[in-house]
Amino acid sequence: MDSPRALEVLLVDDNRADVDLFCRALRDINGSHRVHIAEDGVAALRFLRREGEFSKAPRPDIIVLDLNMPRMDGREVLDILRHDPRLSLIPVIVMTSSRAPSDVTDTYQLGANSYLAKPMELDEYCDLIRTVEEFWGRRVVLPPSQ
């Protein structure tokens, strides 16, 4: 297994409990990863475009994106990202509670790199985060920062 690298992760999710769980699970697996939080799509785009309070934000290696959020949902964010040449190469992992086939299809059509349904059980959730960390943090060759 390759050695882990520290990832810059942008987590876009409006559910505080899910955000806390994700951060805790990832920290327990590899404490060197940095997780940045955006509570909705509008904040995510401001972060990615380094606007306002995000002027010094790092470019994330991966984006973990929830679908159902206020103001701007994950589908809208994904569509904007895939049409912006400065942001289009950042891998986007959709991680949501929806298991609806139409959400899965729509998300992949918009250019998601993967679609993960959030498990209801804590152990399964932690296993999922471990799998994400191993794949994206140890296995995948990520595109260079632009």
**Whole-structure pTM value:** 0.94
Q: Domains of the chain, with CATH numbers?
A: 8-139 (3.40.50.2300)
Alpha-carbon radius of gyration of the chain: 14
Burial 101-111 (b: 16+ CB within 10 A, else e): eebbebbeebe
Per-residue pLDDT at 146: 64
Per-residue pLDDT at 3: 54
Q: Which residues on adjacent β-strands are paired with residue 114? A: 93
Ranges of the chain whose pLDDT falls below 50: 1
35, 23 in Cβ contact below 8 A? Answer: yes
Express each pLDDT in 118-127 by its tens digit: 999 999 999 9
Per-residue pLDDT at 103: 96
- Give the residue among 68, 86, 88, 70 at the shortest CA–CA distance from 78: 88
Amino acid 138 reads R
- Give the residue among 45, 23, 43 at the shortest CA–CA distance from 35: 23
